[in-house]
Every structure is written in C-alpha cells, then in structure tokens.
Chain A
Amino acid sequence: MLSKRIIACLDVRNGSVVKGIHFKGLRVAGDPAELSRRYNRDGIDEIVILDVTATIEKRKALADTIHAVASEIFLPLCVGGGIKDEGHADAAIEAGADKVSLNTAAMAHPDLLTTLARRYGSQAVVVAIDAKRVHSGFQTYVRSGQQATNRDAVEWAREAADRGAGEILLTSIDRDGTKSGFDCELTATVSEAVSIPVIASGGAGTFDHFVDVFTVGQAHAALAASIFHYDEHAVSDLKQHLHKHDIPVRLSC
C-alpha cells in the first residue's frame, strides 16, 4: 500500500534553518544537515529545502546546503525558493536535489514547467502554490505570499499539472504558522481537480491535524516545519499516531 508521506521543510536563510510565522518574523532553528540527519533517524520520508528569502532578495538556494544534505541523507530531496530559470534548476539538481519547486517563476513563465519536465521528467518538477481564501474560492499568491495574482488556485493547479508539473506543494497562507490545522477544504478541492499528488502545507499544530488532512483533505503527503524542529521524536510519534488511525505510513525499523 502506498504510504502517506511526512515531509520536513527546512526554511533556510544564510545556511541556517529558520521558520516564519505568516512568512514574517524569522527565527533561527538549526543547521540543515544536522536537522536532516535527525529527521532521517526519526523516519522522515522526504526533505524540502526552501530558501524563503530567495525570491525577495534575488538569492538562489544555496548549493552548499543542498550538497551537504544530499551527500549523507539518501531520501528524496526537493529544493525551492528563488528558482527563476533553467540555470537555477540545473544548479539545484547538480548539487543533489531530486526535485525543484517553482512558485513565482512558474506563474510568470509557465513554459518553464514544461521545459524542466522534458529535461528532468515530471517527477522532478514541483509547482508550489500559495493560496488564500477569498469569497469566491482560493486565490493564488506569489513572491512568498506577498503578492496577489488574479489566478484561482484550483485552476492554476490544473494548468500546472497539464504543463508538466509532477506534484503540487499546496500552502494555505491563512493557516501557515498558525498551528490551527491544515486547510482540508483547499487540499481536497485541489486533490480532486488534478491527477498528480498533492502535498498539503501550512497549519500543522497537532498529530490529529495530519489525520484530518490525509482523510478529509485527501492529501498524498503533508509538509511541516516547526512541529518537527524542537522535538526529537516528533516524526516517529506522528507516524505511530497515524498508524493507529489506519493511515498507511512507513514505520521506522
């Protein structure tokens, strides 16, 4: 049975892991390679390295950080933030990323999804969609959640999948950093609209929030950051909790 994936997000800035609250007020929380080793021991299924400031400060994800993590952690590794063109994607993949996550650049140049899917395969192309609730549905935001677009998130998800994206990393701006639970309605709506896996992000605060997003939200994977950063056994404890709720997960040996 295909397991539901638990993904740890390392929000990296200047080589250190930070976590924002509503994308602002960054706090330092550790060394990326050290955190990755700890997560690997605890049974994490995948790691996302996100340079949260890259788009704003015109900085691409640090190849050194990617290389350090990929040289000793043999898990799927996705890198996002500041990937604007093929060159940035090439650099991340050459450094050891298995997937690149595109957000602002994909919206500005949707052809980039197709180009990268042709070069590396759709499995290497993740489209990151930051969505915010509006009266008519879910609006897509770019530039680290700071700039509204006129695109509906569900419609954009469909287009991105058609253009070659292999997964959708779907973040609820309303829930991000609040620890009040994933936006299950948003996640389920997108998951039902596309034929590719959806990774839910934003709002993880308790283990039951993950149960909800895998059942009600129909997510294939769930991503979190701060819930894992400060507790040594959070990942294995979470997986035991999901297992007890009959949700298929990969349990550590």
Chain B
Amino acid sequence: MIALLDYGAGNLTSVRKALTYLGATFETPTVGENLANVDAIIVPGVGNFNATTALDNHWRRHIANVVAHGSPLLGICLGLQWLFDGSDEAPNVAGFGAMTGRCHLIKQEDDDTSVSGPFKVPHVGWNSLHRKRDSWVLDGVAEGDQVYFTHSYAAPVTEDCVGSTHYGVEFASVVERDHMVGVQFHPEKSGDIGLRILKNFLNRVGS
C-alpha cells in the first residue's frame, strides 16, 4: 500500500488517475499514524511552499519513520522542494531537510541561451532532462527526454541531483538519495516518459 499524502496543496486527481492506470494500490491517510504500515509515500503538491506547513511535526515524525525503515518516498513538484531545507517562497517555513540546500525563484542568467522569446516565470511547458549520474528512478529515460513543468521556484543542483534542467538557470529536476527521490516536473502529465518514471518508482516499492 502506497500513501498518497493530501495536505491541501493542489488537486490530486491527475496523480490518482496515473497511479490507477499503472495498477498501483494507494490510499490517502488522514493522520500520521496511518503511515505505520505503508510500503511507500508519495508527496505531491502544487502551489505555494507555505502549504507544506500542513505537514507538521506530527506528520514529519511519521514520514521520517517510514523513510528510516527503507521505504521509498517520491516528492512531486512542491513535494521535491519540500525535501530540501526550505524555499525563498516561504522563508520561515522549514522543509523536510532530507536534502541540503534551499529553493530559489527562477531567474534568467545573463549568459543563458536556453530561452527562446521573452523570459517568463512560472516555467511552464516541456523541457529536457539532463542525466547527471546513474539513477534508478530514471531507468529507461534518455538524455534529453522531455517532461512537463509548471513552477516558479526550483531546487539547487547538489550531490543529490541525478537529473537537471535549464531554464534561465540550471536547476535540479530530479533528485535521488538511496530510496528517496523527487521530481520537479509532473510525471502524471508527462506522457510516456512520465509514466515510465512513475513505473520505476512503483517497481522499487515492489522490490
């Protein structure tokens, strides 16, 4: 059983439909204690980083417990950002802190040539993944494969970054530390490549 966390940050219909399509069994826990027997956790979410305050110490304790036992965790979009120390979007809100670094507003560097036309934030649309190192969650995903993004803040490229993307700056679009992963894009909206990434996660849950 996979726990799909619903903490009020955006609508989960698309993630539910994709998981259902892939044959996954999941539930949406209402209290942290519900996580006691889950095989994996998915932290989805779109919107403001401030929304992650709903994942309070009670939830964090139970989530940390699941992760400590080696169960996979997938953060999607805001869920990836939450894995870090925090975000400039809500400076007083602490992230989960599993990965070191802070998320910053996307901005265009002077020497950047990756943008065609007026530079816009949020970063909306299909953009390429660049493989940084071996990754189980990116198994079968080729250098340059495109996925669908919609976000204004982004995580830094650190040792946890296994896939990066360029938009104004280079940012971490896929992070991975052992069984903990995060994707800045929406795999549930990224066609066959996105389904492959979700499938990789589900395979890890089963193994």
**Contact indicator A167/B121 (Cβ below 8 Å):** no
A158 beta carbon closer than 8 Å to chain B? no
Are A45 and B125 in contact, with the CB atoms below 8 A? yes
Query: Does A192 lie within 8 Å of B116, measured CB to CB?
Result: no
Give the total of A residues in contact with B, Cβ under 8 Å.
Answer: 39
A window 24-57: CB within 8 A of B: 40, 45
Instruction: Indicate whether A137 reaches chain B with its CB closer than 8 angstroms.
Output: no
- Tell me what chain B mostly uses at the interface: helix, strand, loop, or mixed: mixed
Residues of B with C-beta under 8 A to A123: 46, 122, 124, 150-151
Write out the residue numbers on chain B whose beta carbons fall within 8 Å of the beta carbon of A192. Answer: 118
- The residue of chain B having its C-beta at the shortest distance from the C-beta of A5 within the complex is B125
Total residues of chain B contacting the partner, CB 8 A: 39
Which residues of B sit under 8 angstroms from A75, Cβ to Cβ?
148, 189-191
Interface code A117-138, partner B: CB below 8 Å = 1, 0 otherwise?
0001111100000000000000
A-B contact count (CB 8 A): 107
Contact among A70, A74, A121 for B194, CB-based, below 8 A: A74
Task: Find residues 1-32 in chain B having any chain A CB closer than 8 Å to their own CB.
Answer: 10-11, 13-14, 17-18, 20-21
Q: Decide yes or no: A120 and B11 within 8 Å by CB, A1-B116, A71-B17, A195-B120 being known contacts.
A: yes
Q: Are B125 and A2 in contact (CB under 8 A)?
A: yes
B115 near A: Cβ within 8 Å?
yes
CB distance from B26 to the nearest CB of A (A): 16
A141 to chain B, nearest CB (A): 25
Residues of chain B whose beta carbon lies under 8 Å from any beta carbon of chain A: 10-11, 13-14, 17-18, 20-21, 46-48, 114-118, 120-128, 146, 148, 150-151, 166-167, 186, 188-192, 194-195
Additional A-B contacts beyond A98-B14, A166-B124 (7; CB < 8 A): A45-B126, A74-B191, A76-B189, A123-B151, A191-B118, A218-B117, A219-B117
